[in-house]
Amino acid sequence: MTSTYTYSYTRTHTATHLTDVILGTITDILADLGINMDRIHRDWVQNENAIKAWIEEGSLDTVVLECHQPSGAVAPVIEFPVSYTPSGDGNAGFTASRARAARFRAKFDQVPTGTTYQLFCTFNGPRTPQPGWGAGQRASIDGLRGITFGTLGSAPHASTGMRYFHT
């Protein structure tokens, strides 16, 4: 019983940590780009609960932030892929690379005034439905150039990275 409890306890903490890293970075990106953040603040608890639940159950593949410009262009697109380890690494700590991410974000292309955003999640299999989240259609990233940041945050059982797609 103890190992099951420890596993569940750690998996819950991992999900909480990675959710904080992902949503915190998305908030930082929106602020850097000057995109209105009223909706991210309004929907914070709903988004936090959904992403945390999906990481905890291991179904979340990627969180995607799309920036929709007034011209109709969708750029940049930032992906936060989540990777899982089957048994967790007992030596893994809870890490986040916020300072390194800030230096990476400084290189992002600016967006015009009036740019909005959409959040999408992709999955690696069945998932538990979450309030406020439904089916959606991602924009194509064909023609965009990509840069991989690497590991943005890690914890026992899972980690997340960041990929930046731009024109």
User: Model's pTM, two decimal places?
Assistant: 0.89
3-class SS at 52?
helix
16 phi/psi in degrees, rounded to 5: -65, -45
Which listed CATH number (3.40.50.170, 3.40.190.10, 3.40.710.10, 3.30.900.10) goes with 2-166? Answer: 3.30.900.10
Give the model's pLDDT for residue 1.
43
Per-residue pLDDT of the chain (167 residues; tens, 9 = 90+): 444 444 455 789 999 999 999 999 999 999 999 999 999 999 999 999 999 999 999 999 999 999 999 999 999 999 999 999 876 554 455 565 777 788 888 888 899 999 999 999 999 999 999 999 999 999 999 999 999 988 888 888 899 999 999 99
pLDDT of residue 7: 46
The pLDDT assigned to 126 comes to 95
Q: What is the model's pLDDT at position 40?
A: 96
The answer to whether the beta carbons of residues 144 and 71 sit under 8 Å apart is no
For 62, the token pair is: 């990627």
Give the full edge-to-edge strand order of the sheet including 158-166: 95-96, 145-155, 158-166, 74-84, 60-68, 116-123
